[in-house]
Chains A and B, each alone.
Chain A
Amino acid sequence: MSARPVDPKRDPIRPGPTDSVTITFEGREYVGVRGQSVAGVLLANDVLDWRTSSTRHEPRGLFCGIGVCFDCVVTVDGQRDVRACQRTARDGAQVERQHDELPRRVEGAGS
């Protein structure tokens, strides 16, 4: 286990009670704390990648964490291109991996 939530019992900020939130990603349910972003819930469960890049087909996930890099985009409840680090996770949200294929070269067109 690498990425993980802070253990509330050992957290120096002395957190109060929280509610949980459950999202679905690639057929599995992941539980986080209400108020966390989609990226937060996934990271809390040690899920690090939720996008496949277009050219090299490599795994991507959170990078900048503040909505600048767009590396973390996912499809949420059917809506594409949602930055996982900026969207608050709603209970029952269906999160899907995003993989945008490059357009195929048309035979005989261009060079």
Chain B
Amino acid sequence: MTDILVIGAGPAGLAAAAAARRRGATVRVIDSAERTGGQYWRHLPESRPAGREAVLHHQWNTYQSLRQALEFDPGCTIDTETQVWAVERRADGTLRVNLASGDVDGTRATESVVPDRLILATGAHDRALPVPGWTLPGVFTAGAAQAMAKGERIAVGDRVVVAGSGPFLFPVTASLGQAGARVVGVFEASRPSRMARHWLARPWELAGASHKVSELAGYVAHHVRGRVPYRTGYGVVEIHGTARVEAVTVARLDADWAPVLGTERRIDCDAVCLGHGFTPRLELAVAAGCELTDERFVRVDGEQRTSVDGVFAAGEITAIGGVDLALAEGEIAGWVAAGGSTADAPVRSARRARDRFTRFAERIATAHRIGASWSSWLQDDTIVCRCEEVDAGTLNRVAESTASVGLRSLKLTTRAGLGLCQGRICGRTVEQLLAGASGCTAFADGTTTDRRPIAAPLRIGDLARAPQSTETSPHQIP
């Protein structure tokens, strides 16, 4: 029987595991969080039962049925609080996956597994563009506001400003409202003309995705009912406060997201939620040797195979497409990894759904693409790399004065991207700013900030205790 290791227990990973089980493989699912569901179905712990938790979620029934099918299945193991800290390519072409489990950031047990097939469903995290003042306490990513609302029932503020770009701003605003916060404004950077052009083009393609359209319409109605001001072509260009957020300056943005002088307006608030799209979590795919696309997602074929034999990818690491696409891709990946084919009847509807929602994802990506001139709202002392506290002025000066076009040397000189988060938050922004200042389009050393051989921090003591030769199939306990 094929042993499959699924990394990530969000919609894509759970759908992959369920399909692989239906096709007869044994499956182990791991996730770094305490509970399954990923960020999309982030929910309350079992110690906090609630009568109507479903009101916070979309497709909550899908999650419940996936979870029940897998949790009570002896052919499936689910290990939460378990994280991959490194993937190694061995001489014989197999992959060794090194895991750490136990209390998050505590003392952890390590283990290495060599699965027959690997399914990567590691998802994505919010991208937040730097803004002067964005390191103040009270500035959060949009995802953080939602995680706190859905997973802990906490409102991150009383008067909250939501800013960035993309349809994710809608559910975040709704979550804040359900948590009792007052959203004093939602500022979408894309201009209405661009959104209309891409959202409304080729309406026949939207036919199969009509519930997405009505979901969005529902959010718009919610905004109208709740009298939440929703402005398009606007952005937060500065955040004010001393010890915590006190206000923001919003301004009208031109088509390339450069602030239009004279349109600034100050709004008092005590929290700001930023979300300028998402960054796929690629480090494990990169470590496994998977090829990336020009848009920097994992390249997959029609059966969700990556360029590496035996490695599949599904969900947001292949494109930012939302839950429907993730579920469809996961189902196909799981089914094919277990020995099936996309021609098989049981995955026919998943295949159709994937094609439909891939087009939907492309539409969103184009309508909300980050404008080329966003960096004109930065000031010289605006921090870009939050960990190492490297500001925009330093990045510009170093890139201009060294005339270096190697990303590695620029990173080492500036220290941008070398801190605790390993460039997860600032990486793409740093690349863009350095490339802009150096006047190059690609770095001479061919590197990117997606490569992180150590994918999760591990205490040296845990590593020292790790047995050196325990290589097991995903199901044997060393």
Q: When the two chains form their complex, are residues B156 and A43 in contact, meaning their CB atoms are under 8 A apart?
A: yes
Number of A residues contacting the other chain (C-beta, 8 Å)?
53
Q: When the two chains form their complex, are residues B178 and A70 in contact, meaning their CB atoms are under 8 A apart?
A: no
User: In this assembly, does A31 line the interface, its C-beta being within 8 Å of a C-beta of chain B?
Assistant: no
CB B284 to nearest CB in A, in angstroms, measures 14
Q: Which of B134-142, B200-208, B357-365, B434-442 contacts A (4 or more CB under 8 A)?
A: B134-142
User: In this assembly, does B93 line the interface, its C-beta being within 8 Å of a C-beta of chain A?
Assistant: no
Contact of B137 among A7, A59, A66, A73 (CB under 8 A): A59
Q: Which 9 A-B pairs have the closest CB atoms?
A: A65-B144, A35-B45, A14-B51, A48-B137, A70-B420, A2-B270, A40-B152, A55-B389, A65-B147
Q: When the two chains form their complex, are residues B103 and A13 in contact, meaning their CB atoms are under 8 A apart?
A: no
CA distance A50 to B158 in the complex (A): 20
25 A/B residue pairs, CB under 8 Å, sorted by A: A2-B270, A2-B271, A3-B271, A14-B50, A16-B48, A16-B50, A18-B48, A36-B152, A40-B152, A40-B154, A43-B152, A48-B137, A48-B244, A55-B388, A56-B383, A56-B389, A58-B135, A63-B141, A65-B148, A69-B421, A69-B424, A71-B421, A79-B107, A81-B105, A82-B105
Chain A residue nearest to B81 (CB atoms) is: A86
Q: When the two chains form their complex, are residues A7 and B180 in contact, meaning their CB atoms are under 8 A apart?
A: yes
With A2-B138, A12-B55 in contact, do A64 and B153 touch (Cβ < 8 Å)?
no
Chain A residue nearest to B105 (CB atoms) is: A82
Give residues in B with beta carbon < 8 Å to A.
32-34, 39, 44-53, 55-56, 103-107, 125-126, 135-141, 143-149, 151-159, 178-180, 243-244, 270-271, 383, 386-389, 419-421, 424-425, 457
CA distance A7 to B146 in the complex (A): 17
What is the predominant secondary structure among interface residues of chain A facing chain B?
loop
CA distance A3 to B157 in the complex (A): 4
CA distance A48 to B148 in the complex (A): 13
Contact of B425 among A5, A34, A60, A68 (CB under 8 A): A68
Chain B residues, CB < 8 A from A37: 152
Q: Which residues between 41 and 65 of chain A lie within 8 Å of chain B, taking CB atoms?
A: 43-44, 48-49, 53-56, 58-65
Chain B residues, CB < 8 A from A7: 180
Q: Which residues between 3 and 47 of chain A lie within 8 Å of chain B, taking CB atoms?
A: 3-7, 10-16, 18-19, 33-37, 40, 43-44
